[in-house]
Chains A and B, each alone.
Chain A
Amino acid sequence: MTRLPNSSMLRAMLLPVGLIIAWQVGVMLAASSDRAPMPSKVVVEGWKLLSSGDLPIALVQSLGRVLLGFGWATALALVLGALMGTYRAVDRALDPLIESFRPIAPIALLPLAILWFGTGTPAAAFIVGYAAFFPMIVNTIHGVSSVDPQLIRAARTLGVDRLTILRQVVLPGAMPFLFVGARLALGVAWTSIIAAELAVGAKAGGGSTGGIGQMMFVFYAYSVDLNGIIVCMISVGLIALLFDRGTRRLEQWMLPWKR
């Protein structure tokens, strides 16, 4: 593969570039309305949205909500997961609740969240947190309970207190699982914030909730700007990619022995 880097690069570019050119030419030749999106207009629109600051502001708003929801979910999941992974009684008491709520798709709770919290940030943060909680707690429990008990016993024998064991033995042992949980949780959190903002926009008639999902809905329903929608989709994909690669990098950097 490394023998001919140019030809494999060429092959990799062939289909994406070909499709984009076909899209552009196809629209230019056959489009019945000038609303039809095409790559050149998407680029222009993307530049406009970037330089006017609308897109960055919407992205920052959505990211803030994701971090808020991810934050409370992670905090709760780490505490509960550590308890459930350590004490069998806690696990037996709480496991049925987790197993019962996990199959409920987070978006299904959105109507309920709107009833409880209105259409603003709290409802979105609730949905995001709900979505992020389950991958996080399942992996925390698994990680904590997979720590070699001999290591814990050894530390105990050496007279180390519980809190230090938690910090120095259990946490590093569970870390790989926590990273898997965080990566999955961030992925679903980002997906559900888009869904939540879209649905809030669609069902609560717009309003000033902001965020990238809301922006997409405004482009769909009010200004009928398909190029704008595609710019939003591309930025949604880029952020998702960034989350995924970022957590993987962080994991490699923090857990060099896992490489």
Chain B
Amino acid sequence: MKVKAPSAGVGRAGRVRRVPAFPARFRSGLESAGLYLRTMLVFVLVWYGAATWIDNPVLLPTPIDVAGSFAELAAGGEMAMHFLASGKRLLFSFVLAGLIGIPLGIVMGLNRLTFQLFDPVIELLRPISGIAWIPLGLFIFGVGEALPTAIMFYGAFFPFVINTIASVRSVDPSYVSAARTLGAGRAVVLWHVVVPAALPGILVGARLAAGAGWMSMVAAELIGAPSGLGFAVEWYRELLMTPKVLAFIVLIGLLGYLFDRLLRAGQRHFARWSQREGIT
């Protein structure tokens, strides 16, 4: 595997904006909220116009219908139920992928023999997307809890390993030599030098892993789960209840956005000295 230097460009992650100092930041926050509302208002009006023009609530319901369904589903607890089902799987598979991926990545980054042994297997499996495992997974696990969890684990595993390897390798060797010279043992060097220096890169990997897990979650649930957000969207499509389909799509978008914000905040909090792009 060739671990490339952080390449130019922006991934799913998004644009990096310079944040001005506090008063200006507050003002620009208000201003961008205004801009946001203006655009979305136009969008909703166009949507409303198109919906009344088409006049077929199965094909395109009005924004008012969708908002009504959203409120109804949220108040009835159905959204919370599906969200919890999906969230539990996502969390479990994410933690599991990290628990296996990060230590494996550290060992592979530090030890050449381990790298030579495991890298070919990783590079052979990585191009096969988690979604392509769904039919085989359906056969092995059946429709249920295990399939989406396994698919999400698979999707999240590779970003963890690959970003951990790259960031362990990019730790400045002079830090390691300095610590060694001062008499630090291997474990101390690993825990107090290598891991903190590699942490920003590992966190980038975590964000990419969460994004990959989120993507495969909807697909896996849509095909092979009895509950969850992906299941709900397809369920209401079969019932031709389009307002509810759209309400769940809106929910998926909102959650995806919040999730990404949360991970970015975590990244800033734990590793504020670095904002580099990861390796997808």
Contact = CB atoms under 8 A, between A and B. Distances in A.
A250 interface: no
B103 interface: no
Contact of B218 (A108, A134, A236, A244): A108
Contacts of A233: 128, 132-133, 136
Interface stretch (A23-31, A51-59, A110-118, A161-169): A110-118
Given A8-B116, A92-B35, A233-B128, A217 B135 contact: yes
A135 B11 contact: yes
Contacts of B223: 198-199, 202-203
A103 B254 contact: yes
Contacts of A187: 280
Contacts of B236: 111
Contacts of A191: 129, 131, 215
B9 A134 contact: no
A154 interface: no
A93 B39 contact: yes
Contacts of B127: 236-238, 240-241, 244
Contacts of B215: 105-107, 188, 191
Interface residues of A, number: 72
Contacts of B237: 111-112, 114-115, 203
Which one of B113, B134, B214, B259 has the highest number of Cβ atoms from chain A below 10 Å of its Cβ? B134
Contact of B132 (A14, A97, A216): A216
Contact of B135 (A115, A143, A192, A219): A219
B139 interface: yes
A15 B121 contact: yes
Which of the four size classes fits the interface of chain B? 35 or more
B241 to A, nearest CB: 11
B276 interface: no
Which one of A141, A194, A195, A198 has the highest number of Cβ atoms from chain B below 10 Å of its Cβ? A195
B59 A194 contact: no
Contact of A112 (B8, B40, B43, B249): B249
Interface in A210-259: 216-217, 219-220, 224, 226, 229-230, 232-234, 236-238, 240-241, 244
Contacts of A230: 136
Contacts of A177: 8-10
Contact of B219 (A99, A107, A179, A224): A107
A229 B128 contact: no
A176 interface: yes
Contacts of A234: 128
B258 to A, nearest CB: 8
A237 B131 CA distance: 11
A132 B116 CA distance: 34
B252 A194 contact: no
A139 interface: yes
B19 interface: no
A139 B254 CA distance: 23
Contact of B131 (A141, A194, A220): A194
Given A112-B246, A115-B237, A142 B135 contact: no
B36 to A, nearest CB: 4
Given A96-B36, A105-B218, A138-B10, A12 B120 contact: yes
Interface string B124-144: 110111011111101100000
Interface string B214-253: 1101110011000001100110111010100110110011
The 6 closest A-B pairs by CB, nearest first: A180-B9, A103-B256, A111-B237, A237-B128, A104-B253, A220-B135
Given A184-B11, A195-B131, 7 more contacts: A96-B40, A103-B256, A103-B260, A108-B233, A184-B12, A226-B139, A241-B127
8 contacts: A12-B116, A13-B120, A92-B35, A108-B218, A135-B11, A180-B10, A194-B129, A232-B132
